[in-house]
Amino acid sequence: FAAPSMRLVVEVDGGYHVARKAADKRRDRDLARLGWRVLRLEAGLVVHRLPEAVARIRQALGARG
């Protein structure tokens, strides 16, 4: 998902993304060129430790302000 006003994209990466690291890096770089930051969270973190995932998102949002 994205927070457009904060120029932050949050990606939840699962097992599928292990094979897509190069493509993900290119996408992250392209977004950075456009002024966006990408926060990548592992799916396991989101599923099993949601409060920690939310804290990381909040931290990223606060770092932008």
Beta bridge partners of 39: 10
Q: Are 38 and 9 in contact (CB under 8 A)?
A: yes
Say what percent of the chain tops pLDDT 70: 91
Closest CA to 37 of 11, 13, 15: 11
pLDDT of 35-62, one tens digit each? 999 999 999 999 999 999 999 999 999 9
Pairwise CA distance, residues 21 & 56, whole Å: 21
Please say if the pLDDT value at position 63 is more than 80.
Answer: no
Residues contacting residue 36 through CB under 8 Å, at least 6 positions apart: 2, 7, 8, 9
Q: Which residue has the higher pLDDT, 19 or 43?
A: 43
* Residue 40 Cα to chain centre, angstroms: 3
